Amino acid sequence: MKSSSPKTQTHFIKSTAAKLGFSFCGISKAAFLEEEADKLETWLSKGYQGKMSYLENHFDKRLDPTKLVEGAKSVVSLVYNYYPEKDLANNHNLKIAKYAYGEDYHFVVKEKLKEFMNKIHETIGEVNGRVFVDSAPVMERAWAKKSGIGWIGKNSLLLNRSMGSFFFLAELILDLELEADGPIKDYCGTCTACMDACPTDAIPQPYVVDGSKCISYFTIELKEEIPNEVKGKFENWIFGCDICQDVCPWNRFSQPHNESRFKPHAELEKLSGNDWKEITEEVFQKFFKKSAVKRTGYLGLGRNIKFVST
């Protein structure tokens, strides 16, 4: 198949994505993201990255896929649903983001991507490429937008008309000539639900998020004490936050995922507010053994629980 046309290879890529459980697959030409360069520079110059200094590194790699994969010709953007069957945030007064209910998506989606690359090598032949899932300097939302999977909403997340925004984005950067898709229009209209609902005012203007004010930043990325000026504004979120997604009208189209590894630990939904406050390191390790919640660590989670509870 190596010598076959870009059209045939594109069909193979899209049908393989569907077979592996990805909800959407869009393709872009691997080229410098010129329109993103100024936006990224401005965002960083305003300090919106907070203490996430890693976002200041690899500026060129973030914008140029050929610096990540030599000779890159195509960026394949993929969507993997994580919307849960049950919203646990309604069951108890301390809340964790839906994406962290089950097994860490880095492991789950990365395995799918490796399988994808194996299938490419088996069918198409020797293709140089790399797989990414939120773990390298790849501007995933910009690529997804470029490929027509959705548009970037006012909360800076990618929105899709048929499934909202409760999904993970992943990419394959390949030195393979594929047929590119085009972007779609923005369907946010005059809606400002996400901006109005954010309790820490982390969306100062449409399409721009001040990362240093986001509840997810405070509860996951910030390693020091949470500043007092945001006390009482977390609405009981102790790991991540779904507020700007929960209020988004497009998320009324979200459908539960089919990924068994994203199912929460059986005991998780039974945790009451007091259970959370009294959680031991042993219970933490048991419940969150393979979960993204491990990113904040036992002490970090304890800090967050104390911050919203006292």
Residues belonging to the active site: 134
Q: Is the dihedral angle over the CA atoms 254, 257, 262, 264 positive or is it negative?
A: positive
Half-sphere exposure of residue 140, counting CA atoms within 13 Å on the CB side?
Answer: 20
Beta-bridged to residue 80, according to DSSP, are: 168
Q: Compute φ and ψ for 172, nearest 5 degrees.
A: -115, 125
- Any idea which residue has 């108890």 for tokens? 92
What does the alpha-carbon distance between residue 81 and residue 13 come to, in Å, rounded to a whole number?
19
- Any idea which residue has 């209020």 for tokens? 247
- Residue 298 Cα distances to 103, 232, 236, 285, angstroms: 17, 22, 17, 8
Q: Compute φ and ψ for 248, nearest 5 degrees.
A: -70, 125
Beta-bridged to residue 171, according to DSSP, are: 77, 132
- Any idea which residue has 């919307």 for tokens? 83
Residue 28 contacts by C-beta under 8 Å, 6 or more apart in sequence?
74, 75, 77, 143, 146, 147, 180, 181
What does the alpha-carbon distance between residue 310 and residue 308 come to, in Å, rounded to a whole number?
6
What does the alpha-carbon distance between residue 149 and residue 28 come to, in Å, rounded to a whole number?
11
Q: Supply the DSSP symbol for 221.
A: I
